[in-house]
């Protein structure tokens, strides 16, 4: 039997966690032979609800769960964590942009960045889900000086999966027929879901759809999908967000099948400002991700990438006091 992996999850009593924790416990994230110890963090008013979630996890008798704890102290929840999923934070409501949450949520990530720095495993892999995810990840990384900022990532996988699903439906294919989907930039309405590199069953995606659909239907649908879910459900996406978090961490730890999109600290690749948490096409191997280099970027793509980069730069300015 392998040694258990310690997985810390914040916002353990929230909506996303109610899907996420059970799937991790079932082995969907780290595999059916990998035991886990779940370390759940909540705020004091939600500790009763968290107790209920822990009771339910126990009641599932998951063979892979070798331990489970709940705490309202980040230093306890992050103790020796190998993986930290930072979900806990306020979601947006109807009519809001995710960046409207910066004030409400920014502080959470400076506190948790420090707590990860001081308590987590030195190799911890961190995924920030709480919105605005990219800039919250930047805040967390900046407050963890002893960790490599490459250990901090922001969730773009939901956008990536949304883009795969839209293109598969349009081309009457399966998501597994699609290669080289990319979502660049910010997890916001400026993100750039890019099919200019993508193929469907080996054929260039752009040859299979018309340009008008690409620019005026596909791109805005993916960009605004979160808001459309809030409009339809009255609450932000939860099960699909949990599923994307599992995909992101699974690929990071176990390797990806081709290109996936991850929000990571920019190293200046593709002319993007260094340091901001920008979504790039990456390939994961041996527990690391590498940016896919040397893709040809046309003028349309360059413009879209600039717009989303500028938004991330201005978000960074807005939280300068927390960095
Ligand atoms: N990056 C992405 O693709 C997506 C991000 N999200 C974001 O994920 C976040 C969580 O969403 P939901 O689970 O639906 O919200 P929710 O409101 O159902 O749950 C959030 C939980 O976090 C807890 N919490 C708040 N502050 C905390 C802190 N300092 N430490 C620990 N826990 C804390 C709350 O008590 C609550 O139980 C939101 O910010 C939402 O916008 C949602 C969908 C997709
Ligand atoms: O839109 C929201 O606020 C929740 C979210 O991030 C998403 O569904 O992509």
pLDDT tens per residue across span 223-275? 999 999 999 999 999 999 999 999 999 999 999 999 999 999 999 999 999 99
Chain position carrying tokens 């339910």: 56
Q: What is the pTM of this model?
A: 0.98
**Which ligand number lies closest to the CA of residue 239?**
1
Distance 323 CA to ligand 2 centre (A): 24
Where is 252: in which H helix or E strand? helix 239-254
pLDDT band at 93 (very low <50, low <70, confident <90, very high): confident
Give the percent of the chain with pLDDT over 70: 100
Q: Give the C-alpha distances (Å, rounded to integers) separating 234 from 21, 69, 229, 237.
A: 22, 31, 8, 9
Residue 99 has a pLDDT of 85
**Which ligand number lies closest to the CA of residue 128?**
1
**Is 41 a pocket residue for ligand 2 (Cβ < 6 Å)?**
no
- Tell me the pairing of strands 199-200 and 65-71: unpaired
Give the position, in ligand 1's atom list, of the atom nearest the Cα of 41.
31
Q: What is the overall mean pLDDT for the chain?
A: 97
Residue 197 has a pLDDT of 97
Residue 6 has a pLDDT of 98
* Ligand 2 atom 3 nearest Cα: 92
**Is 237 a pocket residue for ligand 2 (Cβ < 6 Å)?**
yes
- Residue 306: other Cβ atoms inside 10 A: 15
> Residue 161 and residue 188: Cα distance in Å, rounded?
15
> Residue 186 and residue 165: Cα distance in Å, rounded?
19
> Residue 226 and residue 244: Cα distance in Å, rounded?
13
Q: What are phi and psi of 275, to 5 degrees?
A: 100, -35
> 40 has which bridge partners?
9, 70
* Ligand 1 atom 33 nearest Cα: 88
Residue 264 has a pLDDT of 98
pLDDT > 90? residue 97: no
> Residue 142 and residue 319: Cα distance in Å, rounded?
11
Where is 133: in which H helix or E strand? helix 133-142
- Tell me the pairing of strands 192-194 and 182-184: antiparallel
Give the percent of the chain with pLDDT over 90: 94
Give the position, in ligand 1's atom list, of the atom nearest the Cα of 92.
41
Distance 12 CA to ligand 1 centre (A): 9
Is the Cβ–Cβ distance between 78 and 116 less than 8 Å?
yes
pLDDT tens across 141-192, in order? Answer: 999 999 999 999 999 999 999 999 999 999 999 999 999 999 999 999 999 9
Do the interacting molecules here have an ipTM over 0.90? yes
Residue 88 has a pLDDT of 97
pLDDT > 90? residue 198: yes
Length of the chain equals 323
């Amino acid at each position: 039997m392998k040694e258990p992996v310690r997985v810390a999850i914040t916002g353990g009593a929230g909506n996303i966690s109610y899907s996420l924790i059970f799937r991790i416990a079932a082995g969907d994230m780290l595999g059916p032979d990998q035991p886990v110890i779940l370390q759940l963090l909540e705020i004091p008013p939600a500790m009763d609800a968290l107790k209920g979630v822990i009771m339910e996890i126990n009641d599932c008798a998951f063979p892979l769960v070798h331990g489970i704890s709940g705490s309202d102290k980040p230093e306890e929840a992050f103790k020796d964590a190998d993986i930290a999923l930072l979900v806990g934070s306020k979601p947006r409501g109807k009519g809001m942009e995710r960046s409207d949450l910066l004030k409400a949520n920014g502080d959470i990530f400076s506190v948790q960045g420090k707590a990860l720095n001081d308590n987590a495993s030195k190799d911890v892999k961190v995924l920030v889900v709480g919105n605005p995810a990219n800039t919250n990840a930047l805040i967390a990384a900046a407050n963890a000086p002893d960790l490599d900022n490459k250990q901090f990532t922001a969730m773009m996988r939901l956008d990536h999966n949304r883009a795969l699903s839209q293109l598969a439906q349009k081309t009457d294919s399966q998501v597994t027929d699609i290669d080289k989907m990319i979502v660049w930039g910010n997890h916001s309405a400026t993100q750039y879901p890019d099919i200019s590199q993508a193929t469907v069953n080996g054929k260039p995606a752009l040859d299979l759809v018309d340009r008008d659909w690409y620019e005026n239907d596909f791109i805005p649908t993916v960009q605004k999908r979160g808001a459309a879910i809030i409009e339809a459900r009255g609450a932000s996406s939860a099960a699909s967000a949990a599923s994307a978090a599992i995909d992101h961490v699974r690929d990071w730890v176990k390797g990806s099948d081709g290109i996936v999109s991850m929000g990571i600290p920019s190293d200046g690749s593709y002319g993007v400002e260094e340091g901001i948490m920008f979504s790039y096409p990456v390939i994961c191997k041996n527990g690391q991700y590498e940016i896919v280099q040397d893709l040809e970027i046309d003028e349309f793509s360059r413009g879209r990438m600039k717009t989303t980069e500028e938004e991330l730069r201005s978000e960074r300015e807005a939280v300068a006091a927390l960095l």
